[in-house]
Amino acid sequence: MRFAFRHLPILRLVSSFVRTRLLTRRLKTRADLETWQRRCIHRWLRDTVGSTDYYRGRNIGGLDDLPIVDKTIVMGAFEQFNSAGLSSAEGWRMFNSGQQRQGYVVGASTGTSGNRGLFVISDDERYEWLGVMLGKLLPAFPLETARIALILPLHTALYNSANRTRRLDLKFFDLRRGVPAIAPEIVGFAPDTIIAPPKVLRWLAEQDRTLAPKRLFSAAEVLDPIDRDIIEKRYQMRLGEIYMATEGLLATSCAHGTLHLAEDVMHFELQPVPDSDLVSPVISDFTRQTQVIARYRINDLLRMQTDTCRCGSPLRAVAEVAGRSDDIFELPRAASRGTVPVTPDVLRNAILDSDRSITDFRLIQADHNELRLLLPDTVSPAAATAAEMALKWLLQGIGTQPLISVERESLSPPTAKLRRVERRWYGARSSE
């Protein structure tokens, strides 16, 4: 009995891993997947959502009966969304002190948008999460061991669960210390699998020649083609992707490199973004029990893939994580009142296509009619001019003519999330 109790968390991990692998074989068609989802969602709505304070007393027949919520709503009534009865104030105290409540893990987002979010999960859910991750990313586990370097700007006990398995060695590296500071430790660990933001993988690719990983995964930031090319050329392998957030695991790439939504654990409503081919996800994680994530709008922008992936998966494919809705520029119309929305991907492509020597930049909306373009000091004046003109032509073509200033300086990887296109002015939004 004592042996079984001590190893119960590992049994949760193994069960989750096996279930993930079996579902890969079982869910062959879109109809198979949707039938599976309906059954899981029905049980989740009945047993978990309906008993949570925020939803208690509602007549819930299906997901459509629930309101759409966002981070502001959930953080404002945090104790009503989790069965642990944890208030946001108590959650922040636990997170900042590192003293967790027994049986639970409290974590937080990096807060790059200025609005940090909390999450709370049980120990059981922590191991189930890890089992899903291993099932999607390391299908040969546990027959094949793995040494995983996880490099992120924030650490929680969520990742410590892997340290109890004999076949898996996971080590966390805190990106807040800076890439140059942690790089020797990463090299010394000699990982065969690296999970890190693309800015870290690119820095390692350009600065180090000793690492020899078998698997690479980009995570936690938008992966731009310029970074992918540099990373894949250095390591001579396909770069995988993990799309995850505070709210859960959203997507992982298959063997063909296609990013597939994690629809075996999460339901996605993909709402169109006006004047673009992008969508904004509203997610419902039907595996979470401690904190309810139901019809939760996240601020990411996705471009979906229209053709079927060669892997044959019924999980919908993402062509590109294009940025964040927080970073859609709102610029004044040149000939009339109102504003012109410009999505991050359009701006990013204009700059990168203007001159092939430009492999990094920062574009910031600093005011309602002012943009700052920061380029590396290694970029030539001619390339800087080409980027400035490309932006001007793009924006004039859609009816806006903001002031654009161009500066050249050293661009080091930030410790927080890299946002090459960043909106820092929200005057128009706050006055609505």
Q: Residues 346, 402: one domain?
A: yes
Q: What is the pLDDT of residue 175?
A: 87
Tens-place pLDDT, residues 403-426: 999 999 999 888 778 899 999 997
Residues 6+ apart with CB under 8 A from 298: 245, 247, 280, 281, 282, 283
Tokens of 360: 């990094």
- Tokens coding 421: 């296109």
Q: What is the mean pLDDT of the chain?
A: 89
Residues 6+ apart with CB under 8 A from 285: 247, 248, 265, 266, 293, 294
Q: Are residues 283 and 199 in the same domain?
A: yes
Phi and psi dihedrals of 157, rounded to 5? -65, -10
What's 389's domain CATH number? Answer: 3.30.300.30
Residue 152, beta-bridge partner list: 174
At how many degrees (to 10) do helices 225-235 and 198-207 cross? Answer: 40
In angstroms, rounded to a whole number, what is the distance separating the alpha carbons of residues 157 and 163? 11
Same domain, 263 and 341: no
The alpha-helical segments, DSSP class H, found in 162-291 are 179-189, 198-207, 225-235
**Winning range, highest mean pLDDT, from 91-105, 241-255, 357-371:** 357-371
pLDDT in tens, 198-219: 999 999 999 988 999 999 999 9
Calculate mean pLDDT across residues 92-112: 79
What's residue 130's pLDDT?
84
Task: Cite the beta strand spans of 248-344 per DSSP E.
Answer: 248-253, 259-261, 266-272, 279-285, 296-297, 300-304, 317-324, 329-332, 339-342
Q: Which of 302, 322, 342 is the last residue of a domain?
A: 322
Could you tell me if 230 and 212 lie in one domain? yes
Q: How far apart are the first and last CA of the chain?
A: 61
DSSP letter string, 387-398:
HHHHHHHHHHHT
- Is residue 194 located within the same domain as residue 259? yes
| Three-class SS state of 328 | coil
Mean pLDDT for 172-183 is 90
Report residue 240 as tokens: 């995988």
- Residue 59: what residue type? N
Q: With a cut of 60, say whether residue 155 has pLDDT above it.
A: no
Residue 245 has what pLDDT? Answer: 82
Query: Per-residue confidence at 163, pLDDT binned at 50, 70, 90?
Result: low
- Same domain for 183 and 225, yes or no, is yes
For the residues 363-367, what does the mean pLDDT come to? 96
Q: Which of 247, 220, 218, 221 lies closest to 108 in space, CA to CA? A: 247
Residue 432 has pLDDT above 50, yes or no: no
Interval 364-384 mean pLDDT:
96
pLDDT digit string (tens) for 241-265? 999 887 789 999 999 999 999 999 9
Q: Residue 4: which pLDDT band, with cuts at 50, 70 and 90?
A: very low
Verify that 238 and 343 share a domain, yes or no.
Answer: no
What integer pLDDT is reported at residue 248 of this predicted model? 83
Single out the residue of 242, 190, 182, 179 nearest to residue 213, CA to CA. Answer: 190
Contact criterion met (CB below 8 Å) for 105 and 121: yes
At residue 113 the predicted structure's pLDDT band, cuts being 50, 70 and 90, is low
> Higher confidence at residue 1 or residue 37?
37
Examine the domain organization and report whether 199 and 342 are in the same domain: no
How many independent structural domains does the chain possess?
2
- Choose the final residue of a domain: 322, 339, 355: 322
Are 341 and 282 members of one domain? no
- Kindly indicate the confidence band of residue 1, based on its pLDDT and cuts at 50, 70 and 90: very low
Same domain for 243 and 274, yes or no, is: yes
pLDDT given for residue 369 in this prediction: 95
* Reported confidence tier of residue 47, pLDDT bands at 50, 70, 90: very high
**Peptide bond preceding 197 in cis form (omega within 30 of 0):** no
Residues 255 and 290 grouped into a single domain: yes
> Is pLDDT of 102 > 80?
yes
Q: Which domain holds residue 378?
A: 328-430
pLDDT at 165 over 70: no
Mean pLDDT in residue range 347-359? 95
Question: How crowded is residue 397: how many other Cβ atoms within 10 Å of its Cβ?
Answer: 8
DSSP one-letter code for 303: E
- Do 316 and 332 sit in the same domain of this protein? no
Q: Report the C-alpha gap between 123 and 156 in whole angstroms.
A: 12
Task: Give the span between the Cα atoms of 21 and 171, in whole angstroms.
Answer: 24
> What is the average per-residue pLDDT within 132-141?
87
* pLDDT for res 2: 42
- Say which residues have a Cβ less than 8 Å from residue 263's Cβ, sequence separation at least 6: 33, 37, 314, 315, 316
Cβ atoms of residues 344 and 324 within 8 Å: yes
Average confidence (pLDDT) over 139-163: 74
Q: Please report the pLDDT score of residue 107 as a whole number.
A: 81
> Which among 322, 349, 384 is the end of a domain?
322
Q: 301: which strand partners?
A: 323
31 CB-contact burial (10 Å; exposed 0-12 / middle 13-18 / buried 19+): exposed
CA distance linking residue 2 with residue 110, whole number of Å: 39
| Model pLDDT for residues 280-334, shown as the tens digit of each residue | 999 999 999 999 999 999 999 999 999 989 999 999 999 999 999 999 999 999 8
The pLDDT assigned to 9 comes to: 66
The CATH number assigned to the domain holding 182 equals: 3.40.50.12780
> What H or E segment, with its residue span, contains residue 384?
helix 381-397
For residue 350, what pLDDT is reported?
96
